[in-house]
């Protein structure tokens, strides 16, 4: 492998039902910064069916070139057709690095692609920087968020990483940016398509994704039960906020997994994060510590959550939620 | 039906703490357990065995003490256990690990290969799909449920962020299972005693079918550049006051930050 033949930062643009996912824009924003530092280019790989009209928006978000693969085989994601398309692009174009959102889709696609082309993949990165020799330094949590590890892929290309949604910043759309849009033809081997998608079922689609919420009202063991969550709902309503939870509450069945904050849930970065009755295990903190303002309420004044909170209140979370809701309702 | 389940011994990361003075991991006294997603994968295999009849093999790659989780698997009801261990496997990243396991799996006949979605020490979710690729088999990751038609077709329920997908796959195939898929059974008491009478097959490099250059440190494209404890920001204000006063403090803070008018 001649490393110098490999050039360009490639970003997989995840779309679902033709809608480009935020994580793809976050990756583009970061790729733009890295490319400017390296004097390199950003390539967006847009795969799907009848999606070409969205290519221009990716240039506004930081891409120099959009590689569009528009094919009926790619209408909805299944592993094999997407793997074939990405691998063909890798083999022909020889990217220096390639980033994919660490979603249930990206974490299915990434390892399959990395194994097919025989390169390294760093899972669930929360930070990407450039090292002394221009290599990608990919930092990720390990041991349940207790430790951070920076991973490099020295002698293989592309350097691949999946990146957690909600940790990098998209750039504002700049319609004056220019770039190329290339329609790319993939030769599919349909004999290898052995998984048939029967249907995709959406649940909870009336709720905003917690990674996109401006204010989160989050509850843990100290909230106790269903009534506790109903009280949090009422508080969230007065603040136009969303409700989220620690893992314990998800495991207890009070709230869905899509609302879980933390290492095995989602990473969130709202303007305001309320932690009610959450002790602040490192696994939870890993998913919310970058929130702009953290207000924690807990009975135990030694709870670790107070180490990351900007404002800590030692007290009964349930009573404080009730009183705070009353005061805010009056104010509205 | 023949099922193989890949399992891994991991430190119980919920028990790991950071030494506040040195900033290093405290691993002393942290128990080793069967990885939760893998255990649910094993339970899924055992349920298929209960319902339709199946031969279940477990395989783990790891140091000698990983024998313990194979005994646990015997006590839960598996039929065969293989311990893959060799110095040549040491220092492997996910790709090299998947090559070693794939090398062993080439020596075993199966209709369904089950792995956990991810291990709690690394949280990468990569080894399952990478094995599937080396063996040229279809994969379904993030599996919540599976039905077998008794012949060769599986109907699978795959978790996605905002719902689920139903998929159809023919055997042989690879799935990665979520710990939310089921509640694993306990070891049965007679089984625990018997588990120590049963044979665990120990396999090394010579027993498997793999290119040596793909193994261990040499076969690992990624390496750790540095590892460090996550830095904590300085603690903020802490108040121990009555409910009314506490609510007043919170509202004042929200106004200060322009969240409330």
Closest partner residue to A313 among B142, B173, B246, by Cβ? Answer: B246
How far is A40 from chain B, CA to nearest CA, in Å? 23
Confidence at residue B24, expressed as pLDDT on a 0 to 100 scale: 67
Confidence at residue B18, expressed as pLDDT on a 0 to 100 scale: 67
Confidence at residue A218, expressed as pLDDT on a 0 to 100 scale: 97
Confidence at residue B192, expressed as pLDDT on a 0 to 100 scale: 85
A·B CB contacts under 8 A: 257
How far is B39 from chain A, CA to nearest CA, in Å? 16
Other beta carbons within 10 Å of A105? 24
Q: Which residue of B has its CA nearest to A311?
A: B237
Q: Which residue of B has its CA nearest to A317?
A: B243
- Interchain proximity A111–B130, CB inside 8 Å: yes
This model of the complex carries an ipTM of 0.90
Q: Which residues of B touch A151 (CB under 8 A)?
A: 222-225
Domain limits, chain B: 2-214
What string of H, E and C letters represents the secondary structure of chain A? Answer: CCHHHCCCEEEEECEECCEECHHHHHHHHHHHHHHHHHCCCEEEEEEECCCHHHHHHHHHCCCCEEEEEECHHHCCCCHHHHHHHHHHHHHHHCCCEEEEECCCCHHHHHHHHHHHHCCCEEEEECEEEECCCCCEEEEEEEHHHCEEEEEEECCCCCEEEEECCCCCCCCCCCCCCCCEEEECCCCCCHHHCCEEEEEEEECCCCCCCHHHCCEEEEECHHHCCHHHHHHHHHHHHHHCCEEEECHHHHHCCCCCHHHEECCCCECCCCCEEEEECCCCCHHHHCCCCCCCEEEEEECCCCCCHHHHCCEEEECCHHHHHHHHHHHHHHHC
Q: What is the pLDDT along chain B (261 residues), one digit of tens a residue?
A: 999 999 999 998 777 776 666 666 676 778 899 999 999 999 999 999 999 999 999 999 999 999 999 999 999 999 999 999 999 999 999 999 999 999 999 999 999 999 999 999 888 999 999 999 999 999 999 999 999 998 899 999 999 988 899 999 999 999 999 998 999 999 888 888 888 999 999 999 999 999 999 999 999 999 999 888 766 566 689 999 999 999 999 999 998 887 887
Q: Which residues of B touch A331 (CB under 8 A)?
A: 260
Closest partner residue to B167 among A146, A198, A319, by Cβ? Answer: A198
Highest mean pLDDT: which range of A43-47, A165-169, A225-229: A43-47
Asked if CATH classification 3.40.50.300 holds for the domain at B2-214, the reply, yes or no, is no
The third-level CATH classification (topology) of the domain covering A210-331 is Rossmann fold (3.40.50)
Closest partner residue to A301 among B124, B240, B254, by Cβ? Answer: B240
Q: Which residues of B touch A104 (CB under 8 A)?
A: 141-142, 158-161
Question: For the stretch A281-307, what's the b/e string if a residue is b when 16 or more beta carbons lie within 10 angstroms of its beta carbon?
Answer: bbbbbbbbbbbebbbbbbeeeebbbbb
Query: Which band of pLDDT confidence, cut at 50, 70 and 90, is reported for residue A148?
Result: confident
Each residue's pLDDT tens digit, A53-102:
999 999 999 999 999 999 999 999 999 999 999 999 999 999 999 999 99
Each residue's pLDDT tens digit, A226-254:
899 999 999 999 988 999 999 999 988 89
Q: Which residues of B touch A24 (CB under 8 A)?
A: none
- Interchain proximity B123–A142, CB inside 8 Å: yes
Q: Which residue of B has its CA nearest to A151?
A: B224
With a CB cutoff of 8 Å and minimum separation 6, the contacts of B221 are A118, A119, A120, A153, A154, A155, A156, B93, B95
What Å distances lie between residue B52 and A118, B25, B48, B56, CA to CA?
A: 38, 45, 6, 12
How far is B103 from chain A, CA to nearest CA, in Å? 14
Domain with CATH 3.40.50.1220 in chain A: 210-331
How far is A184 from chain B, CA to nearest CA, in Å? 24
Cα A80 from Cα A101, distance rounded (Å): 18
Asked if CATH classification 3.40.50.620 holds for the domain at A3-192, the reply, yes or no, is yes
Mean pLDDT of chain A: 94
Q: Which residues of B touch A312 (CB under 8 A)?
A: 235-239
With a CB cutoff of 8 Å and minimum separation 6, the contacts of B81 are B57, B58, B59, B70, B71, B73, B74, B198, B199, B200, B201
Q: Over 80: is that where the pLDDT of A206 sits? A: no
Share of chain A above pLDDT 90, in %: 80
Mean pLDDT of A146-154: 90
Q: Over 70: is that where the pLDDT of A15 sits? A: yes
Confidence at residue A147, expressed as pLDDT on a 0 to 100 scale: 81
- Interchain proximity A310–B227, CB inside 8 Å: no
Each residue's pLDDT tens digit, A272-331:
999 999 999 988 998 999 898 999 999 999 999 999 999 999 999 999 999 999 999 887
Q: Which residues of B touch A308 (CB under 8 A)?
A: 232-233, 235
Confidence at residue B9, expressed as pLDDT on a 0 to 100 scale: 96
């Amino acid at each position: 492998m001649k490393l110098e033949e490999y050039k360009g930062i490639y970003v997989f643009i995840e779309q679902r039902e033709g809608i480009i996912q935020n994580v793809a824009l976050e990756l583009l924003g970061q790729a733009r910064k890295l490319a400017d530092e390296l004097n390199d280019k950003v390539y967006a790989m847009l795969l799907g069916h009848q999606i070409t009209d969205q290519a221009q928006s990716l240039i506004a978000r930081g891409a120099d070139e959009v590689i569009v693969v528009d094919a009926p085989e790619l209408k909805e994601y299944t592993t094999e057709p997407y793997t074939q398309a990405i691998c063909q692009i890798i083999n022909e174009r020889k990217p220096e690095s390639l980033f994919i959102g660490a979603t249930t889709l990206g974490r299915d696609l990434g390892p399959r692609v990395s194994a097919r082309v025989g390169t390294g993949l760093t899972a669930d990165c929360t930070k990407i920087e450039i090292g002394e020799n221009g290599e990608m330094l990919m930092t990720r949590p390990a041991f349940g968020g207790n430790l951070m590890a920076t991973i490099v892929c020295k002698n293989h290309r592309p350097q691949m990483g999946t990146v957690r949604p909600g940790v990098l910043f998209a750039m504002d759309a700049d319609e004056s940016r220019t770039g190329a849009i290339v329609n790319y033809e993939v030769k599919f081997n349909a004999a290898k398509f052995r998984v048939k998608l029967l249907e995709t079922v959406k649940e909870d689609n009336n709720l905003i994704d917690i990674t996109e919420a401006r204010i989160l009202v989050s509850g843990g063991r100290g909230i106790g039960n269903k009534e506790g969550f109903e009280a949090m709902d009422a508080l969230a309503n007065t603040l136009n906020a969303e409700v989220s939870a620690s893992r314990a509450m998800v495991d207890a069945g009070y709230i869905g997994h899509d609302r879980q904050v933390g290492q095995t849930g989602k990473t969130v970065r709202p303007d305001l994060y309320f932690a009610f009755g959450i002790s602040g295990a490192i696994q939870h903190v890993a998913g919310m510590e970058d929130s702009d303002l953290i207000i924690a309420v807990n009975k135990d004044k030694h709870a670790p959550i107070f180490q990351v909170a900007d404002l800590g209140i030692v007290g009964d979370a349930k009573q404080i939620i009730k009183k705070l809701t009353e005061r805010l309702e009056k104010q509205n | 039906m023949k099922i193989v389940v890949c399992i891994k011994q991991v430190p119980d990361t919920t028990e790991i703490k950071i030494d506040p003075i040195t900033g290093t991991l405290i691993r002393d006294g942290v128990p080793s357990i069967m990885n939760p997603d893998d255990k649910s994968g094993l339970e899924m295999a055992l349920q298929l065995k209960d319902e339709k009849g199946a031969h279940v093999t477990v395989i783990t790659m790891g140091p000698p003490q990983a024998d313990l989780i194979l005994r646990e698997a015997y006590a839960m009801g598996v039929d065969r256990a293989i311990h893959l261990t060799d110095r040549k496997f040491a220092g492997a990243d996910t790709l090299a690990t998947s090559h070693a396991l794939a090398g062993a799996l080439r020596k075993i006949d199966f209709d369904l290969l089950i792995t956990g979605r991810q291990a709690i020490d690394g949280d990468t979710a990569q080894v399952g799909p990478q094995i599937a690729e080396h063996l040229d088999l279809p994969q379904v990751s993030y599996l919540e449920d599976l039905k077998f038609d008794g012949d060769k077709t599986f109907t699978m329920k795959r978790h996605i962020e905002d719902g689920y997908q139903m998929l159809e796959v023919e055997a042989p195939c690879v799935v990665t299972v979520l710990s939310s898929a089921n509640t694993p059974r306990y070891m049965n008491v007679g089984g625990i005693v018997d588990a120590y009478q049963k044979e665990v097959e120990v396999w090394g490099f010579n027993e498997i079918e793999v290119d040596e250059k793909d193994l261990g440190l040499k076969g690992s494209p990624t390496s750790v550049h540095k590892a460090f404890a996550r830095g904590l920001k300085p603690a903020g204000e802490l108040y121990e006051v009555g409910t009314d006063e506490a609510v007043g403090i919170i509202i004042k803070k929200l106004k200060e930050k322009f969240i409330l008018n």
